[in-house]
Amino acid sequence: MNGTGVPLVTPFDSSGRVDRTRLRDLVAWLEERGVDFLVPCGSSGEAPLLTTDERIRVVETVAEVTELPVLAGTGREGFEPTLETTERAAAAGADAALVVTPSYYDSDEEALAAYYRDLADDSPIPIYLYSVPKFTDHALAPETVASLAGHENVAGIKDSSGSLEAIQRLVRLTEDEEFAVLVGSGSIYAAGLTAGADGGVLALSNVVPGRAGEIYRLHDAGRGNAARALNADLVELNRAVTSTYGVPGIKAALATRDQPVGSPRRPLRPLAEAARGALESVLADALEATGEADSDRPT
């Protein structure tokens, strides 16, 4: 899981069911724009609002139509449901599992380390830790991550804290292991790569996959200044589709890019008209600033 990964949104049809046809179309659109791996059933995919069967249906659909690596979100609140979902995702074609930190009960670092270690012992596919304090109110301590990095079935972490310090510490503390540090915030993607991260899983990459992927390619080619400049041009768009409007914003932006994926699932609601207009303006500015092809701009 190196390079730029997409935490795929989950398309729904007019009846609120998973729309596999639109999902296949979205995967093809993203692949054509050069992303490196796909991450179904993460936060951007409304995973907490999906049943286990729906999650597996999404993973199976993605795995059937792509040759890119598939990192499936399988984390639940308890060990047994997470292991079951992970095993089923593996059978459906996932290459690895992204496991969010359980959050309902206030577990300490020792308990979380034991949870991940036990899961890695039993999982048929590699485990990636997922620290997203915005939703869980708990950031995995870099020392805890380092204690897990030597496990042969713990392959990496997606850190969505938005903290460059956290990325730097994770890289430093795990540098002696075969362990991938993935940036989870589009605003610090280039900076995280400069700090030694192996790639990213960015909500932003749903909307501008080519530009998000180019940040990694520029960095990989030794053009760090160009990567940081491109990233800076995308900061306002990243903010719009994450902290400002969230999943409804990503889905609205995709509709503007001629990739309709339906409405978000309740209790989330579609953007109001005024918010949609503001988002479209931010998206148009980002596409113009980054030199997207005319055919890829909003109509």
Catalytically annotated residues: 130, 158
- Helix axis angle for 164-173 and 142-149, nearest 10°, is 30
- What are the backbone dihedrals phi and psi of residue 212, each rounded to the nearest 5 degrees, phi first? -65, -45
> How far is the C-alpha of 175 from the C-alpha of 196, rounded, in Å?
9
Containing 127, the helix (H) or strand (E) segment is strand 127-131
Annotated binding-site residues read 201
Annotated binding-site residues for pyruvate read 201
Residue 71's nearest CA partner among 107, 50, 53, 44 is: 44
> How far is the C-alpha of 228 from the C-alpha of 226, rounded, in Å?
5
Token pair 């074609």 is found at 93
> How far is the C-alpha of 4 from the C-alpha of 113, rounded, in Å?
27
